[in-house]
Structure formats: C-alpha cells, structure tokens
Amino acid sequence: MDPILNIINISKDFVFHHQEGIRIKVLDDFSMRFFPGQATVLTGPSGSGKSTLLKMIYAGYQIPEGKILIRHKKEWVDMAKALPSLVYEIRQHTIGYVSQFLRVLPRVSALDTVIEPLIARRMETGKAEQKGRQILERLRIPENLWHLSATTFSGGEQQRINLARGFVAPYPLLLLDEPTASLDPANRKTVMDLIREAVQDGSCVIGIFHNRSDQKELADRVIDMSPNMTSQPSSQALEV
C-alpha cells in the first residue's frame, strides 16, 4: 500500500534569541513513512520532539530542513514548500489536528466550535449541527452546555470539545496530541473507540500517549522518540 505521509530527513532546532541565544535541537534527520488504516503512537520523554513532529506535519511549525510529503487528493504535496492556499485546503480536508488545549472563543457556542470544520467544508448547517450533537452526546457533554461558550468549561470539558471538533469530520490523516490526558475512564474509552473507528475507516492516526495501556490497546506501532534511541541510521526514532 502507498503511504499517506512520507517524512524525509527533517531536522528542527529552536533558537531563543532573548535567552542567551540558546539553541535546542529537537529533531535530527528524522525519516518515516505512515500508512492509511494505521495507528501509530509516539512515546518518549517531554522535549523529545513528539509535539514538534505533529506540528511540523500540520505546518504549524516551520519546516526548515527536509520534506514532509502528504498525499492530498491523490497528489503528493511537500508541506515545507506548499503555498499557503494549499496548506489551508489540506488542513480543511486531509489533515486533522487535535491540540492539547482548546483555543476557546468568547461568544461562540460549544456546538458551533465543534461543527466549524464541517461548515468550512460547506456542509449545510442543519446537517452539521446534527452531526455535532451526536459527537457531543457521545463525549458526554451535557446538553445544557451545548449553546454556551466553552470559555467557562472545565479543562476536561474543553478537551472533549476539542476532540469532538477533531472527530466530527473524517480526515485521511489525524494527529492527536495527548488526546486522553485529562479524561475520566468512560470518556477515555469513548476516545479510544473513536480512534479505532477512524482507523477502521482508513484514516492514518498518529498520536501522543503517555499511558502504557493506551499505547498497548491502540497502536499498530509504537515509535520511541527518546534522544538515546538515535542509533538507527538516518532516523532519530526507533520502532519498538
């Protein structure tokens, strides 16, 4: 099968100009391919580049070196060089990304926040709201909160709104940054189900999970991003 994502020799460092010019190398010549219908878990200590990798794939971080090739509508696109208009389109249709924290907006209801990706795809509002209600129900957000702005929600509720937004529309590639971190057991199970369903439907899912049982339960493969796992030539990470 053809990969959906092919990462070739990417490196990334951060220079902090106002903190004595400290330079931190986070990724060094990293290469890896990812396939449809596959769930990959990234592990490793904080600072080993897991979130950075996800953000680079989404082009939320700049890609100074290497290529990130993504299959978008049957064409290969290098996220490092794609024109902005193409990046917007890829984010709308091909790559979904659930960040660790929801960026809440005042005056925008939880339901509207969740269905935004569907509206962006020009789905009719009534239909989008129906889908939104279904996913909010599945993630146990009480109905009396749906029409309130998520600004006043608890951390766990905000994270579930964030997840609902990520799962409301299907994406060929779904990036999840610690999706189960602040969830109770019942919601954790729901999220694991949602991930499994997405994979069964052919999505490629790449997620960061710290919980060993999550990793075991879900992953087709686990990639350890620890800095000491650099023995493998031309790839920083090791598949375990």
Partner 1 sequence: MTYMPGEKPYPLLSVRNLSKFYGKTMGCHEISFELGKGEVIGIVGESGSGKSTLLKCIAGRLTTTNGSIFFNSSYGFIDLCRTDEMLLRKIIRSETGFVTQNSVEGLRMTVSAGGNIGERLMAGGMRHYGQIRKIARQWLETVEIDAKRMDDLPSTFSGGMQQRLQIAANLVTDPRIILMDEPTSGLDVSVQARLIDVLRKLVARLSLSMILVTHDLAVARLLSHRLYVMKDGRIVESGLSDQILDDPREPYTQLLVSSILKP
How far is 58 from 183, CA to CA, in rounded Å?
A: 24
Residue pair 203/233 in contact by the 8 Å Cβ criterion: no
Stretch that binds partner 1, among 12-20, 66-74, 169-177, 217-225 (CB under 8 A): 12-20
- Least separation in angstroms between residue 114's CB and partner 1 is 15
Residue pair 67/1 in contact by the 8 Å Cβ criterion: no
- Least separation in angstroms between residue 228's CB and partner 1 is 26
16 forms part of the interface with partner 1 (CB under 8 A):
yes
Q: Distance between alpha carbon 50 and the CA centroid of its chain, in Å?
A: 11
- Residue 8, C-beta contacts closer than 8 angstroms, at least 6 positions apart: 31, 66, 67, 68, 69
What is the footprint of partner 1 within residues 88-117 (CB under 8 A)?
A: 88, 105-108
61 forms part of the interface with partner 1 (CB under 8 A):
yes
1 forms part of the interface with partner 1 (CB under 8 A):
no
126 forms part of the interface with partner 1 (CB under 8 A):
no
Nearer to partner 1 among residue 55 and residue 195 (C-beta): 55
Here the tokens at position 179 are 């999706």
87 forms part of the interface with partner 1 (CB under 8 A):
yes
- Least separation in angstroms between residue 164's CB and partner 1 is 19
Residue pair 211/182 in contact by the 8 Å Cβ criterion: no
Here the tokens at position 15 are 């220079």
Residues in contact with partner 1 by CB under 8 A are: 14-18, 55, 59-62, 84-85, 87-88, 105-108, 119-120
